[in-house]
Amino acid sequence: MTEPLVVLDAVEKQFDGFVAVNKASLTIGEGEFVAIMGPSGCGKTTTLRMLAGLDTPTRGEIRIAGEVMNDVPSHARDTPMVWQSLALFPFLNARENVEFGLKMRGLDGAERKRRAMAWLERMEIAEFAERNVDTLSGGQRQRVALARALVVEPKLLLLDEPLSALDAHLVIRMQAVLTKLQRELGITFVYVTHSQSEAFAMADRVVIMSKGQIAQVGTPREVYRAPRTRFVAEFVGRNNILTGQVTGSETGHVTLDTPLGAFRVPGEAPHGSTASIVVSADRMQVGPGENTLEARVVSEEFVGAMVTVFLEAPDGTELKVQMQERALGEIDLTAGRALSLSWTTAEGHLLQEATT
Amino acid sequence: MSRLDLALRFYLALIVGFIFLPIFVSLLFSFNSDRFPTLPLGGFTTHWYQTIFADPDFWQAARNSLVVASSTALLATALGFCTAYTDYRYSFRGKSLFLAIILLPPTIPLIIIALAMLAWFARLGISGQIPSIIAAHTVLTAPFAMAIIRLRLSQIDESLEAAAWNLGASEWRAMRSVILPFCAPAIGSSLFLTAAVSFDEFTVAWFVSGLNKTLPVHVLEIVQGTIDPQVNAIGTLVFATSMTLVLIAQALIFFKLQRRAA
C-alpha cells in the first residue's frame, strides 16, 4: 500500500522552549485541498513552514512522497509556497519573477521564458509580463505569485494566507481561481488561513489547530456540524454551547441537566459526567419546541438576507439565533425583550470533554 | 512670508556662505593670474592648472589617492555589507555590543585614530605604505558603508530571501540573486560615498602615508613651503571629485530608497 503524499508523524516544533507545534499527526492525500486554520499563534504557519523546509521539526517526522524530509533544506524540496506578503522580487519584472524557480533549476533562457509566458497567459496577466511588479494591482500581483509557485510543476503547493491582503470582492474571485486551478492540476494544496469562510469555501478537508495541537480534522461539514471539542465549537461558526450533567440515558439519547433546564441530545455518555450540547445558531428557532429555553434579546446583526440575534439567558450564557430576514416576520427584537428559543433534539450535538 | 521665515532663510544663506565661500574663493583664485590672492583680480589664466599637470609629484599623489580611494571603497563596502547582513539575518548574544563596536570609529577623534594607526603600523613594520593608508581608511569608512546598507536591508520583506530558498535557491544563490540585487542601490551609494570620504581625508593620511602622499597631503606640503596658487587648483580638483562622488551616492540612495518608501 502506498503512503499518502504528506505524512506528519507526531511532529513537534519548539522555539527557545516555546512549543509552537505539539505532536501534530496528519496525513494529506494526493490531489487534496486541505485548509489548516486556527487563531493566530496556533501553529498553523509553523506547520506550513516545516512542510516547506523553512523550519526543522524538533521531534517527530515529516514525510513527503514516502521520503523523510526533516533535514532536507528548503531549496532541495519541491514545495513552492505562496506567501502572505506575496514576496515578489521587486527588482524583477513579472515574467522574471515567474522564471525564478526555473532558473534555479538550471533551465535555459528560452525554455524558461516559454514556460513563464504560458503560466502568465493561463493566469490572464500575460500583457503585464514585462511590467515591474510594484506597478501591478493586488489581484495581478497575486496571480504572478501563483504563477511563480506553480510554474515549477510541484506535487504540493503551500499557501500561507495568500488572500489576506486583498479586498473582499477580490477574495471571492481568487477563491474561484484557486479552486479551479486545484481541480485542473490535480495537485495537493495546503492552505493556511484564519478565515473560516475561505477554508470552508475551498477545502476538501479542514484541520483546526489550537495552541500548537490539531484539534480536529474533517470535511467542512463535519467540523461545522459535529465539533469534537469546545474550542472547535467556539471557533467554527456561531454555536450555542450549553454545559451540564448527564442525568439520564436511553438508547441513542442522553438527558443533560443544565442551568437553563434539562435537554435531550442524541449520543452516549456515562451517567453523572459533564457534557455539553452544541446547537448551531442557524438550527435554533424562535418559539417553543422539543427543547425550549428563555432568553432576553441583547442585539441583532443584519447582514443582507441573514439576521443574527444575540440573546442572554438568565444565567448569563450568550445565545445566538441565525435566520432568514424574511422569516423574521413580526418578531419583536427590541433589546431586553424575552423570547422562547427551541431546537429539535436531532439538531443538537453532544460534546463530551473532560476539560474545556 | 513671515518675518521668522525670512530670518531663517537669511540664517541658512549665511551657513551655506560660510561653508562654500572659501571653496568658491579657492576656485576663483585658481584661475587668477596674480601670484598673491588679493583683490582686484588679475587676468584669467589656466597657468596654475598647467603647472600642477606638469608636476610629476601631483600625478603621483593623484594616482595614490585614486588607488587608496577605490580600494577603500571596495573593502569598506564589502565589510559593511557583511556586517549589515549579519545584523539583518542573525541574532546572537552580545549583538548590540558587536554593533556598538562596529559603529565606533567615526566617534573617535581623527587625530587619535591617526596616532594609533601610525604606532600600530610602525610596530608591524608596514607604516608609510599605500596598503596602510587603505587599511586606515577602511576602518574609518566601513561604518558608513554598513549604515547605508543596513538602512536598505531594513526595508526588505523578510519573506523575500526565504521565497528564494523555497524556489530552489541555495543560501549563496539566494544571496547573489536576491539580497545583492535588492541592496544594489545602497551598495553603489556606499562605494561612492566611502571613496569620497577617503579621497579627501587628510589627518589620518598625513600620519600614515609617509612618502606615499595622497592629494590632500600633497596640498599641505605645498602650503607649508610657499604661497602658491597651485593649491587653489588642486583644492578645486579635489573638491570637484569628492562632490561628484557624494552627489552620485546621494542620487542612488535617495532615488531608490525614497521611491520604495513612497
Query: Pick the residue with more confidence: A115 or B202?
Result: A115
pLDDT of residue B258: 54
pLDDT of residue B52: 81
Q: Are A206 and A241 in contact (CB under 8 A)?
A: no
Residues 6+ apart with CB under 8 A from B216: B65, B200, B201, B202, B205, B206, B238
Q: pLDDT (tens digit, 9 = 90+) per residue, A32-57?
A: 999 999 988 899 999 999 999 999 99
% of chain A at pLDDT higher than 90? 51
Average pLDDT over residues A299-323: 87
Q: B11 — contact with chain A (CB < 8 Å)? A: no
With CB atoms and an 8 Å threshold, state whether A75 touches B260: no
**ipTM of the complex, rounded to two decimals:** 0.83
Q: B155 — contact with chain A (CB < 8 Å)? A: no
Say whether pLDDT at B222 is over 80.
Answer: no
Q: How many CA atoms lie within 13 A of B10 on its CB side?
A: 7
Separation in Å, CA of A127 to nearest CA in chain B: 24
Nearest CB partner across the interface for A87, out of B160, B171, B181 = B160
Label residue A122 exposed, middle or buried (CB < 10 Å: 0-12, 13-18, 19+).
middle
Q: B131 — contact with chain A (CB < 8 Å)? A: no
With CB atoms and an 8 Å threshold, state whether A75 touches B170: yes
> Which chain A residue shows the shortest CA-CA distance from B178?
A89
% of chain B at pLDDT higher than 90? 34
Q: A91 — contact with chain B (CB < 8 Å)? A: yes
With CB atoms and an 8 Å threshold, state whether B168 touches A105: yes
Using alpha carbons only, give the angle B201, B203, B204 rounded to the nearest 5 degrees: 85
Mean pLDDT, all residues of chain A? 89
Mean pLDDT, all residues of chain B? 86
> Which chain B residue shows the shortest CA-CA distance from A79?
B166
Confidence of residue A1 (pLDDT cuts 50, 70, 90): low
With CB atoms and an 8 Å threshold, state whether A89 touches B163: yes
Say whether pLDDT at A75 is over 80.
Answer: yes
Query: Pick the residue with more confidence: B58 or B182?
Result: B182
Confidence of residue A166 (pLDDT cuts 50, 70, 90): confident
Lowest average pLDDT, out of A4-13, B68-77, B223-232, goes to: B223-232
Separation in Å, CA of B145 to nearest CA in chain A: 21
Query: Distance between CA atoms of A242 and A256, rounded to whole angstroms?
Result: 9
pLDDT of residue A356: 43
pLDDT of residue B261: 44
Closest CA to A154 of A185, A179, A124: A185
pLDDT of residue A96: 94
Confidence of residue B237 (pLDDT cuts 50, 70, 90): confident
Say whether pLDDT at A235 is over 60.
Answer: yes
Say whether pLDDT at B47 is over 90.
Answer: no
For β-strands A285-286 and A261-266, DSSP reports them as unpaired
Average pLDDT over residues B136-163: 92
Confidence of residue A141 (pLDDT cuts 50, 70, 90): very high
Q: A79 — contact with chain B (CB < 8 Å)? A: yes
> Which chain A residue shows the shortest CA-CA distance from B168?
A75
Q: How many CB atoms lie within 10 A of CB A224?
A: 19
What's the distance, CA B81 to chain centroid?
16
Lowest average pLDDT, out of A300-304, A316-320, B131-135, B172-176, goes to: A300-304
Say whether pLDDT at A354 is over 70.
Answer: no
Say whether pLDDT at B76 is over 90.
Answer: yes
Q: B91 — contact with chain A (CB < 8 Å)? A: no
pLDDT of residue A161: 92
Residue B164: its chain A contacts at CB < 8 A? 89, 100, 104
Average pLDDT over residues A94-110: 93
Average pLDDT over residues A185-214: 92
% of chain B at pLDDT higher than 70? 95
Say whether pLDDT at B256 is over 70.
Answer: no
Average pLDDT over residues B133-145: 92
List the grid coordinates of A106.
538550471
- Residue type at B218? H
Say whether pLDDT at B123 is over 80.
Answer: yes
With CB atoms and an 8 Å threshold, state whether A89 touches B178: yes
> Which chain B residue shows the shortest CA-CA distance from A151?
B167
Separation in Å, CA of A171 to nearest CA in chain B: 22
With CB atoms and an 8 Å threshold, state whether A90 touches B169: no
Confidence of residue B137 (pLDDT cuts 50, 70, 90): very high
Residue A75: its chain B contacts at CB < 8 A? 165-171, 173-174
Nearest CB partner across the interface for B165, out of A75, A90, A152 = A75
> Which chain A residue shows the shortest CA-CA distance from B155?
A90
With CB atoms and an 8 Å threshold, state whether B166 touches A80: yes
- Count CB pairs under 8 A between chains A and B: 65
Q: Which residue has the cell 576602518?
A: B139
Confidence of residue B1 (pLDDT cuts 50, 70, 90): low
pLDDT of residue B30: 80
Average pLDDT over residues A252-268: 88
With CB atoms and an 8 Å threshold, state whether A101 touches B168: yes
pLDDT of residue B257: 56
Lowest average pLDDT, out of A35-39, A296-300, A350-354, B78-82, goes to: A350-354
With CB atoms and an 8 Å threshold, state whether B166 touches A152: no
User: Measuring CA to CA, how many Å separate A230 from each of A227, A276, A318, B185?
Assistant: 7, 8, 15, 54
Confidence of residue A355 (pLDDT cuts 50, 70, 90): very low
